[in-house]
Amino acid sequence: MNLLDAVLFLPLAGFLIVLLLPREREEALRRLALGFAAATFLLSLGLATGYRAGGQFAFVTDLPWIRSPQIRYHVGLDGLSLWLVLLTTLLTPIGILVSWRYISKRVKEFYALFLLLEFGLIGVFVALDLILFYVFWEVSLVPMYFLIGVWGHERRIYAAVKFFLFTMAGSVLMLAAIIYLDTYAGTFDYVELLRLQAAGNLAFRRTEGLLLFLGFFLAFAIKVPLFPLHTWLPDAHVEAPTAGSVMLASVMLKMGCYGLLRFCLPLFPQASRDCAPWIVALAIAGIIYGALVALVQPNMKKLVAYTSVSHLGFVVLGIFTFSPLGADGAVYQMINHGISTGALFILVGYLYERKHSLEIADYGGVATPAPNLATVFMITALASAGLPTLNNFVGEYLVLQGAAQVDFRWAVLAATGVILAAAYMLWLYQRVFFGPAPEAVRTHVYDLTRREWTAMLPLVALMVWLGVGSETFLPAIRQTNAWILERSRATTEIRVELRMPLQEVRP
């Protein structure tokens, strides 16, 4: 039992304890959930300070879970998962804070499921056994389904079911690929698979490797979501309650990106490279398409949802450049997107709590009654648009440079996404915060409360920190990406080996 196990299981303990409490004591339930989430976050800080770049995985626990077939409780942390775990543990207490007043029905279930969601999400990022990974992957799906379906807006049921079915359709194929991999290699263990591969004992025929790659890739691409598999995303984001949108956008979408880097590239290098041109094309299409659709959205939440399609296109583009800069930028952008889009959803949620509308047309002049809200929104919008000294700039720059090294046209096309981002963000800001304030805005909109400040402050601080202090975060990422990319250069075309020992005759 090390620190990582504690970070993983503390939310589960919280889930069970919240379940046991009587449902009438709502205030106690909130405090308890916040307590567990905050404690998890504080513990997880120890992961960041204790993490030493060096061996492949840190904080490893490897215990047998199921004996036959051998499935292990094998968890560990590297530079890729470290910041994603921290992102999860940071956003969970913030999600609880922003739900404090917003969630008024079925409070007990909400906070229980929220903690279960945190358990599943952390698990996804630390699991080093493929079945364990799949278990967490699905475990995180169920609470999110309920979060959208029970506490969402009008079309919540449609959105929740669509979200569940899309993810399920992808993940069953991943399960098939995982099982096939085991019948082939005899293990579900990720580290063991890598070892076998390095020793040349895990080589696929080209089509076989391609199909296995696609089994994983489809599950991840739906989750990212890669254009044109993104259609569940606007529905789910718009209908989810604020905290649900935050977790969905900030963390759950990263599950797909994480999976691409963790599994697709190292395990199926040949297929990854074979498919890369197609994937890059889809990523760039997503960048431009997402941005254009965001530009014309009359609904704020939908606008932010489509910016995710655009931003995550950058991540996928960065990954499939196979260049260190691109991959580092992709991981950095995963964190950035988690911070700034999460913040945008929270701010839109704040506006909704005040005026009960998500339509941009219903707003205007919000800066007058709520100057602090306007300032925070401005910083976040600029961060999201990629202003230098704020977080997104660093990630986008690295991705674009990585892409330019491979093919300059990719960088040019992707860069239009950055330009469009400035357009839709500033235009949104102008329409909502400037101009004359209608009567309804003046009476309903008030400035940030203390609790709302508390939720936003860490995010704004991180936007600046990630923007100017990238060297805090990049070394771990760089080191992990280095070996992932090294793996991805390996060739796995079938090798014909002479199994017969050469010196069979003993002297």
The encoded tokens of residue 33 equal: 């959930």
Residue 67 binding another protein, by CB under 8 A: yes
Task: Give least dist CB 173 to another protein, A.
Answer: 7
**What distance in Å separates the CA atoms of residue 462 and residue 355, rounded to the nearest whole number?**
28
Task: Collapse the DSSP code of 363 into the 3-class scheme (helix H, G, I; strand E, B; otherwise coil) and give the result.
Answer: coil
45 is a contact residue toward another protein (CB under 8 A): no
Write down the least CB distance from residue 393 to another protein, Å: 39
**CA–CA distance, 453 with 469 (Å, rounded to integer):** 23
Q: Which region among 60-68, 358-366, 383-391, 453-461 touches another protein (by CB under 8 A)?
A: 60-68
Say if residues 265 and 80 touch (Cβ distance below 8 Å).
no
154 binds another protein per the rule CB under 8 A: no
Lookup result for tokens 């004996």: 67
Q: Which of 161, 281, 360, 464 binds another protein (CB under 8 A)?
A: 161
Query: Nearest distance from residue 218's CB to another protein, in Å?
Result: 11
Q: Does 344 bind another protein (CB under 8 A)?
A: no
Q: Measured from the CB of residue 151, what is the shortest distance to another protein in angstroms? A: 9
Between residues 43 and 211, which has the closer beta carbon with respect to another protein?
Answer: 211
Measure Cα distances from 221 to 6, 81, 108, 129 in Å.
31, 19, 33, 21
What is the total count of residues that contact another protein (CB under 8 A)? 34
Choose which of 7, 29, 97, 141 interacts with another protein (CB under 8 A).
Answer: 141
> For residue 87, which of 499, 458, 433 has the smallest C-alpha distance?
458
Q: How many CB atoms lie within 10 A of CB 22?
A: 9
Binding to another protein by residue 14, rule CB under 8 A?
A: no
Q: Tell me how far, at minimum, the Cβ of 22 lies from another protein, in Å.
A: 11
Q: Is 172 in the site for another protein (CB under 8 A)?
A: yes
Is 180 a binding residue for another protein by CB under 8 A? The answer is yes
Q: Which contiguous run of DSSP H or E holds residue 76?
A: strand 71-77
Provide the CB-side half-sphere exposure for 413 (13 A, CA).
19
For the chain, report the end-to-end CA distance as a whole number of angstroms: 51
Which residue of 59, 83, 125, 164 would you call a contact of another protein, by CB under 8 A?
164
**Which of the 8 DSSP states describes residue 361?**
G
CA 6 – CA 3 distance, rounded (Å): 5
- Residue whose CB is less far from another protein, 171 or 391: 171
For residue 227, state whether it binds another protein (rule: CB under 8 A): no
Determine which residue in the list 68, 207, 491, 503 makes contact with another protein, applying CB under 8 A.
Answer: 68
- Helix H or strand E encompassing 120: helix 107-126
Q: Which of 3, 32, 43, 175 binds another protein (CB under 8 A)?
A: 175
Number of other residues whose CB lies within 10 A of the CB of residue 182? 18
Q: Residue 160 or 370: which CB sits closer to another protein?
A: 160
66 in contact with another protein (CB under 8 A)? yes
Could you say whether residue 191 binds another protein (CB under 8 A)? no
Q: Residues 138, 274, 362, 447: which binds another protein (CB under 8 A)?
A: 138
Rule CB under 8 A: say whether 194 interacts with another protein: no
Q: Please spell the DSSP secondary structure of 199-250, one letter per residue.
A: TT-----HHHHHHHHHHHHHHHHHHTTPTTSTTHHHHHHHHS-HHHHHHIII
C-beta separation of 204 from 494 below 8 A: yes
Dist CA 21 CA 36 (whole Å): 14
Task: Report residue 474 as tokens.
Answer: 């990049």
CB 123 within 8 A of CB 140: yes
Of 16, 42, 45, 165, the one binding another protein by CB under 8 A? 165
Least Å from the CB of residue 379 to another protein: 36
Q: Rule CB under 8 A: say whether 58 interacts with another protein.
A: no
Q: Is 173 in the site for another protein (CB under 8 A)?
A: yes
Where does this chain touch another protein (CB under 8 A) — which range of 24-32, 175-183, 398-406, 492-500? 175-183
Site mask for another protein (CB under 8 A), range 108-137, x = bound: -x---------------------x--xx--
Those residues whose C-beta lies under 8 Å from the C-beta of residue 358, and which sit 6 or more positions away, are 238, 299, 300, 301, 302, 348, 351, 352
Whichever of 115 and 477 has its CB closer to another protein, that residue is 115
**Segments in 356-407 forming alpha helices (H):** 371-385, 391-406
Cβ neighbours for 108, distance < 8 A, ≥ 6 positions apart: 18, 19, 21, 23, 26, 29
We find the least distance from the C-beta atom of residue 223 to another protein, in angstroms, to be: 14
The rounded distance, in Å, linking the Cα atoms of 447 and 467 is: 27
Can you give the binding site for another protein, defined by CB under 8 A?
23, 66-69, 106, 109, 131, 134-135, 138-139, 141-142, 145-146, 149-150, 156-157, 160-161, 164-165, 168-169, 172-173, 175-176, 179-180, 182-183
